[in-house]
Chains A and B, each alone.
Chain A
Amino acid sequence: MIRSFYIAAKDLKAEFRTKQMLNSMFIFSLLVLVVFSVSFGDFLGDAEKVEKLAPGVLWIAFTFAGMLGLSRTFVMETENGCLEALMLCPVDRGAIYTGKILSNLAIVFLMEAVTLPFFIILFNYSLGIGTLFLLLLIFFLGTFGFIAVGTLLSALTLGTRTRELLLPVLLLPVLLPVLIPAVEATAGVLAGNSIGNLVPEIRLLAVYDLVFFVISHLVFEYVVSD
């Protein structure tokens, strides 16, 4: 496990030095929010309509911005044959997958945390601390499932020439079971529901996360082998 942290720390150090992924993800998610808030301009005063539309808009921004990052996650490993070097290290291949999950999770979660205040401003929300924590919990659960599958598929599409096109095509259908409860739970939180009312969605997200993490961890070795 400690070696997964070394891999994540290495990825984060490289990312914070260049900020290539973070900047493009953040700008993309912000643009999505701005475009939607402008096009829904007439509805923004109508709280009922905003409650229905805004959670979906937020997860569209997170998902597509996150995909930008995911498509790059193994690119730094292919430069100079670094993936081969990682695979030569005396660690289980699953540890490499876990390391990549940790770094992707940190980067995407940071992007989400920075995007959230803009979402609150653009869609006229005012959230209390409790609601904010609940929202971050839903973000974490939704993002973990997204990253667990996305990291595996990013490795799977690594050797293909159309990686950037193939990743969304493969990823989006698999993500539906996590996106639907994530959007519903986010809508619930924004509507002021307590955690007790969100148990079915939270349970669904947690099960998805666990199942896909375990499966991806087990099959990662075969995905990165020749």
Chain B
Amino acid sequence: MENAVSIRELSKVFGKTPVLKALDLDLRKGEFAVIFGPNGAGKTTLLKLISTLIEPTAGSVFVSGFNITEEPEKVRKEIGMLSHDSYLYGDLTAKENLHFFGKMYGIDGQELEKRILQLLKEVGLVTKADERVSTFSRGMKQRLSIARALLHRPSLLLLDEPYTGLDPGASLVFENLLKSPEFQGSTKLMVSHDLERGFALCNRLLILDKGKFVYDGFKTNFSGFQEFREKCGSMLA
């Protein structure tokens, strides 16, 4: 079976500073992997490389079989990115934001209207659809940002510290959406500092330190979160 993500000998150097060092990683379709690691380990850089925002210094990355440097537009179509930035225009309304991004992803007409309404309902913002995003609270922006990331039904979700700024209600909405049948089949790669939440959601755990994976294993290797923390906590210090 084709992997959702295949990374081979991936390196990234900024100036003279190596950030990622010859990484290898295969993510199977439907897998939910979480990358933990200390600050500066290269977690966000890895997500930026996979999402085509930056180019690798060496090595290759394939997303759903598409090479990120040769077919970046096809790769972008497969990806939904949720970051600590909301990626929303403050001067546009919630609905206008979703309309704009939907059209940019090639969704149009009735299908777009249907998806927008459904997602606004799911994130609890249907009554705020025509209000400007600049009037939203941080939690509301994050909920709308979840809808924006899922609008084009990506096969790979990249989640960069998605819990930053999420209130408990929005966190629940987010987790429920990830578990919903619509997105259960999609592959998820999350970067997080929240060990407990990350452990609870994922089925695969990765620890990145100084540009290299120092741990790669499955959740089933541990009896629970306590055991994971006891065995791997030292790698995250």
- Chain B residues within CB distance 8 Å of chain A: 48, 51-55, 73-74, 76-77, 79, 81, 83, 85-92, 96, 100-101, 103-106, 132, 141, 148
Contacts and interface: CB of A to CB of B under 8 A. Distances in A.
A89 B83 contact: no
A176 interface: no
Nearest to B48: A226
Nearest to B45: A226
Given A226-B53, A226-B54, A89 B101 contact: yes
A158 B148 CA distance: 25
B46 to A, nearest CB: 14
Interface string A1-35: 00100110010011001100000000000000000
Interface residues of A, number: 24
A6 B92 CA distance: 13
Contacts of B76: 88-90
Q: Is the interface of A mostly helix, strand, loop or mixed?
A: helix
Contact of A89 (B85, B92, B104): B104
16 contacts: A3-B104, A6-B100, A6-B103, A10-B89, A10-B92, A13-B92, A18-B91, A76-B91, A80-B87, A81-B83, A82-B88, A84-B53, A89-B76, A89-B104, A89-B105, A91-B104
A81 B87 contact: yes
Interface string A64-99: 000000000000100111101111111110000000
A156 to B, nearest CB: 17
A225 B106 CA distance: 23
A80 B105 contact: no
A6 B100 CA distance: 7
A81 B54 CA distance: 15
B140 to A, nearest CB: 13
Contacts of B77: 90
A89 B104 CA distance: 6
Contacts, number: 75
Nearest to A10: B100
Nearest to B133: A80
Contacts of A225: 54-55
A138 B84 CA distance: 46
Contacts of B103: 3, 6
A76 B73 contact: no
Contacts of B101: 85, 89
A14 B89 contact: yes
Given A13-B91, A17-B132, A88-B87, 10 more contacts: A79-B89, A81-B85, A85-B81, A85-B148, A86-B104, A89-B101, A91-B73, A225-B54, A226-B48, A226-B53
Nearest to B55: A225
Most buried by B among A76, A90, A225: A90
Contact of A13 (B85, B87, B96, B104): B96
Question: Top 6 A-B pairs ranked by shortest CB distance?
Answer: A81-B85, A85-B87, A14-B91, A89-B104, A90-B77, A90-B76
A48 B148 CA distance: 60
B154 to A, nearest CB: 10
Contacts of A80: 85-90, 141
Nearest to A79: B90
A196 B96 CA distance: 47
B151 to A, nearest CB: 11
A89 B81 CA distance: 10
B51 A88 contact: yes
Most buried by A among B53, B74, B100, B141: B100
B156 to A, nearest CB: 12
Contacts of B104: 3, 6-7, 86, 89-91
Nearest to A17: B91
Contacts of A90: 73-74, 76-77, 104-106
A113 B53 CA distance: 39
A91 B51 CA distance: 13
